[in-house]
């Protein structure tokens, strides 16, 4: 007999206003993990999650220390003979600058039209919130969950998950299960339901060029010294060819080229290039020659400057040679590139390009490995059926350009297959001003997870 989840849906309808209040309370906590002044806020967000799990009846809840921001762990393991799911999300958020471009304060959530606006509304507090309430609904209405669950909610995803792998390794007993479900991805352009089956990795570094001990008068000293900003642009300009290819020797060596079948599959994904271009607001799309936009976003590596600064940034003119100049740069990686190897190749290239007269240093901020999940895995196919049931559409299988290094960690450390079941709208403006989550995606996501737990229950557990 098929479960129609009517009682659970009724509960969700009845609690709609309460859930929104609770979502807002979570979003009000400015848990920016990259900024040390928000350390207490990150911890407050961890407590919010832990308290929520406990109130619902999740057991063994712990705000677990990592050396940095904590991991919130909790489990419920009473579904005999059912599989065990490790659920991952992150309760920390991106910084909010440029603040002046936000139409509403980033930590004062509001509903406008059919969306909730706030930093973290989609990435990833909103998606943790779906899991919190899916569990609460099951336990409140039925007194049990149809599967065993272990929640691992992280607080350092937006600052490079620097302590997570160590925590996972030390807590491998808490990761015993049959699959990992990560809800930190989004639907496809046009808000088409999608399941992500590939993620890019990341190598994020900073280049610092230092010259004179003080800013110098560009008249009195110009011509006598190397200008750190000129040196920096010379280095950065040498990392990428004008055609968009990365110019670091060996950069493409380990890249798994797309197979003809994969290219055919990606070409089938509906994609309106012109609408995409207009939505971003650029005069033309641009990227590595020889690949489609969809391929370049999901299955090809990149090199981008994320930030650059040095010298005078004010109004008008100031005639100085800056004493230093800096850039943050990152590469999105694809199978089988390794972040550490790419960082070493970058280091060699920067050394080669560094001009005389300045000191150039390079440091790694964070890294994460790429990952790919099989489309035909039963857990993926089961998720797809639940998405179809709730959203009325077969999901697309996409390779996302983003990076969720924990996906690779769950595979390598815990041996778990990973299902990337995310519900954010593709125009969520994650990492940008005016981040938002569509309420229909939120409500549909919640109902999908509620059903997914039932649907997984009939699969045979491999671990116990």
Say whether residue 338 binds a copy of itself (CB under 8 A). Answer: no
Place of tokens 């190897």: 341
Q: How far apart are CA 149 and CA 386, in angstroms?
A: 18
45/216 with CB nearer a copy of itself? 216
Binding residue for a copy of itself, selected from 16, 99, 101, 275, defined by CB under 8 A: 101
Say whether residue 220 binds a copy of itself (CB under 8 A). Answer: yes
- Least separation in angstroms between residue 242's CB and a copy of itself is 6
- Least separation in angstroms between residue 160's CB and a copy of itself is 6
Binding residue for a copy of itself, selected from 24, 43, 63, 95, defined by CB under 8 A: 95
266/386 with CB nearer a copy of itself? 266
Q: How far apart are CA 99 and CA 91, in angstroms?
A: 21
8 A C-beta contact, residue 106 and residue 99: yes
Peptide bond into 160 cis (omega under 30): no
Three-state SS at 174:
helix
Binding residue for a copy of itself, selected from 57, 104, 269, 311, defined by CB under 8 A: 311
8 A C-beta contact, residue 102 and residue 96: yes
8 A C-beta contact, residue 200 and residue 367: no
381 burial via Cβ count (<10 Å: 0-12, 13-18, 19+)? middle
Beta bridge pairs of residue 152: 73, 88
Residues 355-414 that bind a copy of itself (CB under 8 A): 355-359, 365-366, 400-403
Say whether residue 426 binds a copy of itself (CB under 8 A). Answer: yes
Query: Segment near a copy of itself (CB under 8 A), from 142-150, 261-269, 354-362, 378-386?
Result: 354-362
* Separation in Å, CA 387 to CA 40, 193, 278, 367, 394: 37, 7, 29, 31, 7
- Least separation in angstroms between residue 360's CB and a copy of itself is 10
- Least separation in angstroms between residue 403's CB and a copy of itself is 5
Q: How far apart are CA 430 and CA 235, in angstroms?
A: 30
Q: How many residues bind a copy of itself (CB under 8 A)?
A: 103
110 burial via Cβ count (<10 Å: 0-12, 13-18, 19+)? middle
Binding residue for a copy of itself, selected from 84, 94, 337, 448, defined by CB under 8 A: 94
- Least separation in angstroms between residue 146's CB and a copy of itself is 33
Q: At what angle do helices 378-391 and 439-457 cross, to 10 degrees?
A: 140
147/216 with CB nearer a copy of itself? 216
Query: Segment near a copy of itself (CB under 8 A), from 2-10, 15-23, 27-35, 438-446?
Result: 27-35
Say whether residue 113 binds a copy of itself (CB under 8 A). Answer: no
Task: Give the CA angle between residues 323, 327, 332 to the nearest 5°.
Answer: 170
Binding residue for a copy of itself, selected from 325, 384, 407, 437, defined by CB under 8 A: 325
70/198 with CB nearer a copy of itself? 198
Residues 134-193 that bind a copy of itself (CB under 8 A): 158-160, 186
- Least separation in angstroms between residue 431's CB and a copy of itself is 5
Q: Would you state the structure tokens that stand for residue 355, as one six-digit string?
A: 């001009």
Binding residue for a copy of itself, selected from 69, 125, 129, 300, defined by CB under 8 A: 300
34/139 with CB nearer a copy of itself? 34
How many other CB atoms sit within 10 Å of the CB of residue 169?
12
Task: Give the CA angle between residues 305, 309, 310 to the nearest 5°.
Answer: 145
How many other CB atoms sit within 10 Å of the CB of residue 269?
17
223/260 with CB nearer a copy of itself? 223
Q: List CB contacts of 278: < 8 A, sequence separation 6 or more.
A: none
Binding residue for a copy of itself, selected from 19, 200, 349, 399, defined by CB under 8 A: 200
Say whether residue 296 binds a copy of itself (CB under 8 A). Answer: yes
- Least separation in angstroms between residue 66's CB and a copy of itself is 16
Residues 242-271 that bind a copy of itself (CB under 8 A): 242, 244
Say whether residue 36 binds a copy of itself (CB under 8 A). Answer: yes
Query: Segment near a copy of itself (CB under 8 A), from 39-47, 60-68, 89-97, 175-183?
Result: 89-97
How far is residue 161 CA from its own chain's centroid?
Answer: 11
Three-state SS at 151:
strand
Say whether residue 286 binds a copy of itself (CB under 8 A). Answer: yes
Say whether residue 314 binds a copy of itself (CB under 8 A). Answer: yes
8 A C-beta contact, residue 198 and residue 294: no
């Amino acid at each position: 007999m098929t479960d129609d989840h009517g009682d659970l849906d009724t509960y969700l309808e009845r609690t709609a206003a309460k859930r929104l209040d609770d979502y807002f309370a979570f979003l009000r906590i400015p848990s920016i993990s990259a900024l040390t002044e928000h350390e207490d806020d990150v911890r407050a967000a961890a407590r919010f999650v832990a308290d929520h799990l406990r109130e619902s009846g999740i057991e063994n809840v712990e705000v677990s220390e990592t050396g940095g921001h904590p991991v919130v762990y909790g489990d419920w393991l009473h579904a005999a003979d059912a599989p065990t799911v490790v659920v991952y999300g992150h309760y920390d958020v991106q910084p909010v600058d440029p603040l002046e471009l936000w139409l509403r304060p980033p930590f004062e959530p509001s509903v406008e039209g059919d969306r909730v606006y706030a930093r973290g509304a989609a990435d990833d507090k909103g998606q943790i919130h779906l899991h919190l309430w899916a569990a609460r609904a099951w336990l409140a209405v039925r007194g049990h969950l149809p599967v065993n669950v272990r929640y691992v909610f992280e607080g350092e995803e937006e600052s490079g998950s620097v302590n997570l792998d160590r925590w996972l390794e030390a807590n491998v007993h808490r990761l015993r299960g049959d699959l990992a479900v990560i809800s930190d991805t989004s639907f496809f352009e046009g808000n088409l339901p999608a399941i992500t089956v590939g993620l890019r990795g990341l190598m994020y570094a900073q280049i610092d060029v230092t010259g004179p001990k003080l800013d110098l008068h560009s008249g009195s000293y110009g011509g006598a010294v190397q200008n750190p900003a000129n040196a920096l642009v010379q280095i950065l300009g040498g990392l990428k060819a004008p055609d968009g290819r990365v110019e670091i020797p060996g950069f493409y060596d380990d890249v798994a080229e797309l197979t003809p079948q994969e290219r055919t599959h990606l070409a089938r994904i509906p994609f309106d290039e012109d609408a995409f271009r207009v939505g971003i607001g650029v005069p033309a799309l641009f990227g590595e020659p020889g690949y489609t936009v969809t391929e370049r976003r999901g299955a090809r590596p990149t090199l981008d400057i994320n930030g650059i600064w040095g010298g005078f940034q004010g109004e008008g003119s100031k005639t100085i040679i800056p004493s230093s100049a800096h850039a943050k740069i990152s590469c999105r990686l694809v199978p089988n590139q390794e972040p550490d190897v790419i960082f070493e190749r970058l280091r060699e290239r920067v050394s080669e390009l560094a001009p005389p007269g300045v000191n150039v240093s390079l440091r790694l901020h964070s890294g994460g490995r790429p990952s790919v999940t099989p489309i035909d895995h039963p857990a993926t196919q089961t998720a797809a059926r639940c998405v179809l049931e709730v959203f009325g559409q077969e999901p697309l299988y996409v390779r996302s350009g983003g990076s969720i290094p924990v996906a690779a960690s769950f595979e390598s450390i815990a041996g778990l297959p990973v299902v990337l079941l995310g519900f954010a709208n593709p125009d969520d403006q994650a990492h940008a001003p005016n981040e938002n989550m569509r309420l229909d995606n939120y409500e549909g996501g919640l109902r999908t997870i509620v059903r997914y737990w039932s649907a997984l229950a009939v699969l045979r557990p491999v671990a116990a």
